[in-house]
Each structure stands twice: as C-alpha cells, then as structure tokens.
C-alpha cells in the first residue's frame, strides 16, 4: 500500500482560515467517499484546535466519518488508521518554520487532488458520524513493545534525559520508558494547560538536555518535537549527534539483521557516509525527493527509511515518521551492541557538511537550477528534487523551497578546504542569477 504525505502550510486566519479548512475537509471527504473513515488529530496549539474543528465539519459535510484522536502524536494517530479501517489521516499542528503558521499533514493511499474546485456536500440524512478516541495509548504502546527486545533493554537500566515538548496531553514516551525500566529525567513533559511556545527542538532546548545528560551521567539525551515525528539524539558526553549519522547507525543495524540486498530509502539530502554504509552492508540505497520518502519506502518494500531533520521510519512497525519508536529502537541497539552512543558514532564516517538558505524569488528558481545544471554538465547529476551533483569526494545539492522564496543548499565534502571553496562558489553563482 502506497503512502502519500501531502503538506499544506500557511498563516492562521490569513492563508489557512476556517472557511479554507472546511472546504479542504469536504474535498478530502469527496475523495474518501461517504461512509468511509478518516482519522484526525492535533497538537496542543490553540489554532490547531480551531482549524481541526473546521476540517472535521467539512469532512462530515461530505459524508465521511471522522475518528477524532483529539490531542495525540502523529505516530499514534497513524497507528490508529489500521485500528479504525481508515485510509486517510489528517493532523494539524504548529509549523516548524514560523510560529504564526499552521501545518496540515494529509497521509493517504493515493495522492489526493487538492486544487480549488467545487466540493460536493451530502444531504442532511447522510452527514458523516463523529467518534472520539480516548484510550489510544495502550494499543500503540503494546504494538511498540511487541517489536522490541524488551528484556535486553530492561537489563541495561538506562538513564535517559528526555525533553518531550508539550505537544500532547498524555506523557506517552515516559510511560514506555518506565515499562522498560529506564531511569528517566523528564523536562517539559507535562501538559501545562497553555499553548506551546514553538515546536522545533531549538539550540537552547538541545543545549539544556546536553548539559543535563553529562551532569547526571545519563546514557543518552533525547529531544522530541511536538508532533513526535522528529527526534534529536545526544550521546553520554553531551554531543549532539547529526541526523545523517543517526540515519547511518539505524541503517547499519537494520541491514545487519536482515538478508542482503534489502532496500533503504532516504531523500536526496543523504550523506556520502550513508551511501558507503549501505553499500558495505550489501543493501540498496534509494534516494528520492524530500516529500516522497514514505511512498518510496512502501513501493520498494524498504526495511528502513528516514530523512532530515531527525525523521525515521521502521516499516517492521509502521510506515510513518515515528520518533517514539526511534527512541526505543536506539535503546535496543545500545543494549544489543553493548556500546555507548558515542562508540556507535565512531563507526560512522562524518564528512564536512554545511546547509544554508539563500533568498530567491519564485520566478527565479528555475533559472538557478538551469544555470547550475549548465555549469556541471559533466558531473553525476540527479534531478529528483532540485539538482544534486556528485563529485569525486563531494556533492552539491540545490533545492528550491516549496513554501518560501528560498533556495536551500547542501554541500558536503571529505575535505574541509574543498567544502569552503564549493560553498563560496555556490553562493556567488546563485546571487549572480
């Protein structure tokens, strides 16, 4: 079954209004067809509550039945799709880009046409039903624990410093860690009854967890976002581990525990180190566009997939960016390998890497890509998502932002000097265009 993830992002009450959300709900409901189930949920953000109610109204007006998880993490809502025979999931949360933005995620079996068009409403006696889900955590927790070697984790009695941003009103991750006999130090993991400040795991939050991890002698530090689909890992020495390094650690472990020739999926942003790990373990690495990772994981029966920033998929459990499962999986790896996270990191080559954005008007983006392609006609070019040029020991990736007048640039090299040279070259080239 394919999984298409579609994102709609905009300023609340300006671009994403109640009228817009209601219309969107009806369009999605028309795709689903009357009588079918759609699962919905949100974070603690007050605008998320408002928009979810309007979306729900639109779905019901189309005849679709709504299974409302209320305030719940994305991985848990996704897990509920199977429990409630739903083919579409919708979540609403504060955007990671700007606090005034809201992010609507739509996950479905097929891509839903979301262009502005007339939305069909059903007669009064065919309006969809609304059902609230209150006990969603137990099935999810049971599902996680069934896929993990719980005994080996329990025997280690890990100490975990956990920052779980107040995205939900139920401390699900602490519950799981408690079951696994982990000593857990909790930061910001209770519902304060107020709106969350900002969902992105920012430098101040990560720095605090880093300091606490070393001061307390903990085995690992973990920072979760409000949706529970992103996670930052910190080793026992307080070092913040790169997303690309975590991808390689997970890929290495999964390939070691599967037959050869298995598929790993990531986006075009992937580091050269992941290429090397997957090749060394006789797997196949599939690079796709940033918004197509989930679909490619399904289409290629991949055993693992992931993307920046801190988003990991373990199809053995579910095809969803699941930070909760990723945390538990990391503990399993630490226990089975009997190594610290810093030792696992030492087994992965970390190359010199930078990422930055440059302002670029929408109408100029194609010109930037064309100019860049002409400059590197002889290179190994991948145009899956923007343009990536792989050189002997480096790569350059230029991706136009879908939502903002920006060009996103990634440069990686095995040489620090070459990284600097390539970075300056790309900046000058884009600015000249």
Question: H helices within 100-242, ranges in order?
Answer: 137-146, 150-156, 172-179, 203-216
Q: Is the pLDDT of residue 38 over 80?
A: yes
User: How are strands ordered across the β-sheet holding 263-267?
Assistant: 284-288, 263-267, 304-307, 311-313
Q: Which domain holds residue 373?
A: 352-432
**Quick one: tokens of 144?**
């996680």
**pLDDT over 60 at 191, yes or no:** no
* 242 shares its domain with 385: no
Residue 315 above 90 pLDDT?
A: yes
Given pLDDT bands bounded at 50, 70 and 90, which one contains residue 291? confident
- 253 to 4, 242, 257, 278, 375: CA distances (angstroms): 27, 17, 6, 10, 39
Q: Cβ neighbours of residue 159 under 8 Å, at least 6 residues apart? A: 182, 183, 184, 185, 216, 217, 218, 219, 220
Both 16 and 60 in a single domain?
Answer: yes
Burial 375-386, CB ≥16 within 10 A → b, else e: eeeebeeeeebb
> Is pLDDT above 60 for 212?
yes
Our CA angle for 91, 208, 220, nearest 5°, is 80
Structure tokens at 275: 């290429």
Sheet containing strand 231-234, strands side by side: 183-187, 159-164, 220-224, 231-234
pLDDT tens profile 160-187: 999 976 555 567 899 999 999 999 998 8
Whether residues 321 and 222 share a domain: the answer is yes
Return d(Cα 311, Cα 327) in angstroms, integer: 11
Instruction: Return the pLDDT at 175.
Output: 92
What pLDDT, on a 0 to 100 scale, did the predictor assign at position 336? 97
Instruction: Read off the pTM.
Output: 0.91
| Tokens, residue 383 | 């145009």
Q: Of 346, 365, 381, which residue is a domain's last?
A: 346
Which of residues 86, 105, 134 is at a domain's end? 134
- The whole-number pLDDT of residue 168 equals 54
Least trusted range by pLDDT, from 40-44, 200-204, 322-326? 200-204
Q: What is the mean predicted confidence (pLDDT) over 353-358? A: 91
Between residues 405 and 152, which one has the greater pLDDT? 152
Mean pLDDT score of the chain = 90
Query: Residue 201's closest CA among 301, 104, 309?
Result: 309
Gap between the Cα atoms of 141 and 253, Å rounded: 23
In DSSP notation, 338-380 reads T--HHHHHHTS---EEEEEEEE--GGGHHHHHHHHHHHTTTSE
> Residue 320 belongs to a domain with what CATH number?
3.40.120.10
Q: Which of 296, 329, 346 is the last residue of a domain?
A: 346
Question: Among 309, 229, 232, which residue's Cα sits nearest to residue 266?
Answer: 309
Higher model confidence: residue 214 or residue 360?
A: 214
Residues 130 and 35 in one domain: yes
Per-residue model confidence (pLDDT) at position 373: 83
130 shares its domain with 45: yes
- Average pLDDT, stretch 70-75? 93
Examine the domain organization and report whether 114 and 18 are in the same domain. Answer: yes
Q: Which CATH number characterizes residue 417's domain?
A: 3.30.310.50
Return the pLDDT at 114: 84
Give yes or no: residues 361 and 301 share one domain: no
Dist. CA 267–CA 140, nearest whole Å: 27
Query: What percent of the chain has a predicted confidence (pLDDT) above 90?
Result: 71
Question: How many other C-beta atoms are found inside a 10 Å radius of the C-beta of residue 115?
Answer: 5
Is the domain of 119 the same as that of 246?
no
Our CA angle for 276, 281, 287, nearest 5°, is: 55
Smallest Cα–Cα separation from 10: which of 118, 100, 125, 114?
A: 100
Residue 118, pLDDT above cutoff 60? yes
Q: Does residue 171 share a domain with residue 305?
A: yes
| Mean pLDDT value of segment 131-160 | 94
- The answer to whether residues 281 and 375 belong to one domain is no
Under a CB-based contact definition with an 8 Å cutoff, are residues 83 and 139 in contact? yes
Calpha distance 239→210 (Å, rounded) = 7
What is residue 242's DSSP assignment? P
Q: What is residue 240's predicted lDDT score, i.e. its pLDDT? A: 96
pLDDT of residue 402: 77
Q: Are residues 217 and 287 in the same domain?
A: yes
- Pick the residue with more confidence: 121 or 204? 121
Q: Identify the weakest region by mean pLDDT among 61-65, 112-116, 191-195.
A: 191-195
- 182-187: long-range pairs with CB below 8 Å, 24+: 182/153, 182/157, 182/158, 182/331, 183/157, 183/158, 183/159, 184/159, 184/160, 185/159, 185/160, 185/161, 185/212, 185/216, 185/218, 186/162, 187/161, 187/162, 187/163, 187/212
Q: In percent, how much of the chain has pLDDT > 70?
A: 94
pLDDT at site 192: 45
pLDDT of 194 over the 50 cut: no
Q: Are both 125 and 186 inside the same structural domain?
A: no
> Given pLDDT bands bounded at 50, 70 and 90, which one contains residue 372?
confident
Q: Please state the domain count of the chain.
A: 3
């Amino acid at each position: 079954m394919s999984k298409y993830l579609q994102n709609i992002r905009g300023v609340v009450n300006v671009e994403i209004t109640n009228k817009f959300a209601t219309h969107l709900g009806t369009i999605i409901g028309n795709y689903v067809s009357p009588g079918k189930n759609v699962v919905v949920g949100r974070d603690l953000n007050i605008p998320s509550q408002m928009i979810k109610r309007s979306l729900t109204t639109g779905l019901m007006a189309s005849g679709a039945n709504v299974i409302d998880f209320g305030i719940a993490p994305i991985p848990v809502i996704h897990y509920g799709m199977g429990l409630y025979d739903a083919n579409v999931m919708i979540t609403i949360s504060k955007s990671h880009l700007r606090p005034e933005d809201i992010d609507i995620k739509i996950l479905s079996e097929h891509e839903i046409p979301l262009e502005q068009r007339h939305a069909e409403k059903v007669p009064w006696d065919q309006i969809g039903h609304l059902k609230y889900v209150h006990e969603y955590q137990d099935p999810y927790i049971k599902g996680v624990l069934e896929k993990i070697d719980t005994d080996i984790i329990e025997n280690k009695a890990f100490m975990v410093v956990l920052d779980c941003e107040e995205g939900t009103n139920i401390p699900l991750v602490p519950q799981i860690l408690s079951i696994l006999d982990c000593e857990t130090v909790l930061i910001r993991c209770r519902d304060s009854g107020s709106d969350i400040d900002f969902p992105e795991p920012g430098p101040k939050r990560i720095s605090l967890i880093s300091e606490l991890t070393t001061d307390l002698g903990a085995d690992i530090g973990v920072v979760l976002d409000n949706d529970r689909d992103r996670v930052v890992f910190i080793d026992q020495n307080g070092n913040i581990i790169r997303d690309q390094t975590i991808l390689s650690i997970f890929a290495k472990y999964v390939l070691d525990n599967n037959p050869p020739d298995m598929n790993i999926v990531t986006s075009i942003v992937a580091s050269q180190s992941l290429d090397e790990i997957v090749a060394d373990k006789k797997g196949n690495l599939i690079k796709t566009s940033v918004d197509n990772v989930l679909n490619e994981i399904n289409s290629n029966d991949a055993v693992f997939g992931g993307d920046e920033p801190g988003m990991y998929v373990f199809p053995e459990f579910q095809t969803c960016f699941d930070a909760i499962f990723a945390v538990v999986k990391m503990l399993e790896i630490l226990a089975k390998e009997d190594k610290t996270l810093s030792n696992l990191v030492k087994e992965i080559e970390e190359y010199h890497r930078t990422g930055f954005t440059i302002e670029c008007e929408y109408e100029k983006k194609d010109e930037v890509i064309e100019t860049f392609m002409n400059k590197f006609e002889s290179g190994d070019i991948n145009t899956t998502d923007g343009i990536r040029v792989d050189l002997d020991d480096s790569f350059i990736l230029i991706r136009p932002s879908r939502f903002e007048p920006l060009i996103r640039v990634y440069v990686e090299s095995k040489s620090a000097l070459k990284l600097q040279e390539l970075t300056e070259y790309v900046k000058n080239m884009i600015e000249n265009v």
